[in-house]
Structure 1
């Protein structure tokens, strides 16, 4: 049996499943550009992450999030991973 170092905490979990997401736009200075953010709700609310994205990335990410059934997020690397494929497929 594998020995698990204790205590196992929320901070020790590195990869989490994305359950919900929300895009927001924050106004910039008058005449300036605004900022898009993407809030990720992970593991049914056990963790949340907010990412700042540009308009092009927001468009692509919205399509990927909408059309991919299973999405994971690697917390320390700040990496979204789309889909799950079995080996050999």
Structure 2
């Protein structure tokens, strides 16, 4: 049995993105989280990137790039970057 047969890659397309920010207290930096809506609501995942990474990911998503989420490895895959 190959490793692919033991652990098939489960990749879903990110079809929507919800960005959230929460305050962490007076004088503290807030924290971002991104809710990834997968395959038009079939599943979802939440990631907590840095502020800089959040800015980049949201800009790429708005620009119409394709995103995919590997549900087993918890890896975000970006397609069509220029």
Does TM-score exceed 0.5, indicating one fold?
Answer: yes
Name the CA distance, whole Å, in 1 between partners of 2:30 and 2:72: 27
Aligned to 1:63: 59
Indicate if the aligned counterparts of 1:68 and 1:82 stay in contact, CA closer than 8 A.
no
Name the CA distance, whole Å, in 2 between partners of 1:60 and 1:69: 12
With structure 1 as the length reference, what TM-score do the two structures score?
Answer: 0.72
Match for residue 54 of structure 1 among 50, 54, 64: 50
Name the CA distance, whole Å, in 1 between partners of 2:38 and 2:12: 6
Output one character per residue of 1:26-85: Cα deviation in whole Å (capped at 9) or x when no partner: 00022111100001000111101111111100011112212244221111222111226x
Structure 1 gap segments, 5+ residues each: 1-11, 85-89
Indicate if the aligned counterparts of 1:68 and 1:83 stay in contact, CA closer than 8 A.
no
Match for residue 73 of structure 2 among 68, 72, 77: 77
Please tell me whether residue 37 in structure 1 is matched to residue 41 in structure 2: no
Aligned to 1:3: none
Structure 2 gap segments, 5+ residues each: 1-7
